[in-house]
Chains A and B, each alone.
Chain A
């Protein structure tokens, strides 16, 4: 986030670095020695919990909460990668996911055989992901020409334009109705839409996405990208092609969002213009910011909170007022903890550590 600040400040030459430490703090886990990042107890615990969860939870919880959070988390992860590590907040990640979803509906089978081509899934899915990735790279190519907050405006404009295109176009996108009955294929005798198989499918791809990003952030490309976020001028002077790196980052984020989009259309069983409408464009931003842009685990935390609010907060208040709740939570987070829930956690830990330090000489483990 404040990467954009940095960028603005460096490019404009006026030293406005207000947001400063809260978000721009150098991320210690991305330094060279973190290659030997040890496997901690909490990693094992989280993985075990993820694997055990579907066997003890009800099918409703597994599918509605578990699978949905992981899917949305995967899409939001693409935004975390772009925003937190590339310094580019794109609102069009849900559009990329929407493109993938629409491609699955158009190329594969759906309840609208007049339009759907009915190709087999092993053609449809890779093609959908490829097309959506291209779309993501194209959006990147458009928006990297501008900087900082301009990116938000342009990606929002692109996203809303795609929404209206789907809404108004009947010959390809089937207008308001979209595509119904878009289901995952039945493979190996398993119905992948059943809660348990679907949860594991989503879990696999979410973990794959998470570790891919973890790996990428330490690879030369990821390190260069973070350098560009912090100081594009200096990276340019060092001989890095800043624009190419940024577009490549959009393409990488596009892959994640595309995989998430295919999973999301299978989860919902349908795709309509509203699946990529403004509220969802912004919901992805909410999820990413809610969790925190500082670590790839943030979007998944944000997604769990979002889905829990969506599923259970409506029991406390009127169902129609979900937007009010989520908007209010988002406002509170942006106003009081710009680093999201991870930032809140870090602040608590810091306070706790400094308090215990006064008692014992041990202090914070990190």
Chain B
């Protein structure tokens, strides 16, 4: 694309958004900034869940469509652990561990035996997601499980300029998402295992040839990816709620985040999560019955101009 067209399309995209922002701030400043914060905190949750998805995809070319089920599983486990022990942090750890364990089991028992058969693996994850979702509904029931935030995060945070008050828990999600993003980045870029994972993303066969136990790397990555879904589930159990159907919602969010951001890239997942989270909340606040349309338009625009996502690279 020539420079002119790049400028043209950027203007076509940016000008209406800027006009909307100016109008919205002028119309109702508080609503605009609260919506912004809501969007960013939702983006934080989306990022945590989708980064696990993209990690697994990047390394194993395995679209884990059971990712939403792992999210739901983690959320339920967190809910019951928190109810029994009363410790929120313990719930987070339990959610992560249980989902990671299930993910590990899936990897070792099923995916290892069908290495390289991408499409079949994807179909297996579809089957697994149906079975897991139904087992969860059987065991736990279809009623809504809403977890309460830990005591030190209950209530509003007061005296913020422009918006006066905001939920402490949701506010805490912002740094949490950032921390997890930075940790993941450090893990992938500064540790030996991370280096192996990145090498595996680029060339699996070559990595194996250098003497690395690829199966172990795969298992570890899958466990971390699944664990992140469970971790997100515990957070989501407070922020949203746990009910059958949420798995599909978060799966859709993860799919769109990684399609928009670029598959297999953690930074891309961050970008995609922010775009999706902000667009979704603004849509809900300003045009409730068409909010999905905005998401869809973003998806179409990205696919039309950058088929591999904003930060995606050719496979």
List chain A positions with a Cβ less than 8 A from chain B: 1-2, 4-5, 8, 12, 14, 16, 18-19, 89, 142, 145-146, 148-150, 152-154, 156-158, 160-161, 164-165, 168-171, 278-279, 282, 285, 289, 320-321, 323-324, 326-328, 330-331, 334-335, 338
Contacts and interface: CB of A to CB of B under 8 A. Distances in A.
B115 A334 contact: no
A331 B293 CA distance: 33
Given A145-B307, A161-B252, A161-B299, A334 B292 contact: no
A285 B119 contact: no
Given A2-B119, A19-B119, A326-B130, 20 more contacts: A5-B119, A14-B205, A145-B303, A152-B63, A152-B122, A154-B299, A157-B299, A160-B255, A161-B252, A164-B252, A164-B292, A165-B293, A168-B289, A168-B290, A170-B289, A323-B130, A323-B131, A327-B128, A335-B110, A335-B124
Given A146-B307, A320-B138, A334-B124, A160 B252 contact: yes
Nearest to B291: A168
A285 B123 contact: yes
A156 B65 contact: yes
5 smallest A-B Cβ distances: which pairs?
A327-B130, A331-B127, A18-B116, A323-B134, A145-B307
20 contacts: A1-B119, A18-B116, A146-B308, A149-B122, A153-B255, A156-B65, A164-B252, A168-B290, A168-B291, A282-B126, A289-B123, A323-B130, A323-B134, A324-B138, A327-B134, A330-B127, A331-B124, A334-B124, A334-B127, A335-B124
B243 to A, nearest CB: 15
Nearest to B284: A168
A146 B117 contact: no
A285 B126 contact: yes
Given A146-B307, A330-B130, A5 B118 contact: yes
B295 A161 contact: yes
Contacts of A4: 118-119
B97 interface: no
B100 interface: no
Contacts of A331: 124, 127-128, 131
A272 B69 CA distance: 24
Interface in B31-55: none
A160 B138 contact: no
Interface of B: 61, 63, 65, 110, 114-120, 122-124, 126-128, 130-131, 133-135, 137-138, 205, 248, 251-252, 255-256, 258-259, 263, 288-293, 295-296, 299-300, 303-304, 307-308, 315
Nearest to A325: B134
B259 A157 contact: yes
A216 to B, nearest CB: 23
Interface centre among A8, A89, A169, A331 (most CB of B within 10 A): A331
Contacts of B116: 16, 18-19
Contacts of B205: 14
B134 A161 contact: no
A154 B259 contact: yes
A250 to B, nearest CB: 15
Contacts of B130: 279, 282, 323-324, 326-327, 330
A142 B123 CA distance: 21
B309 to A, nearest CB: 10
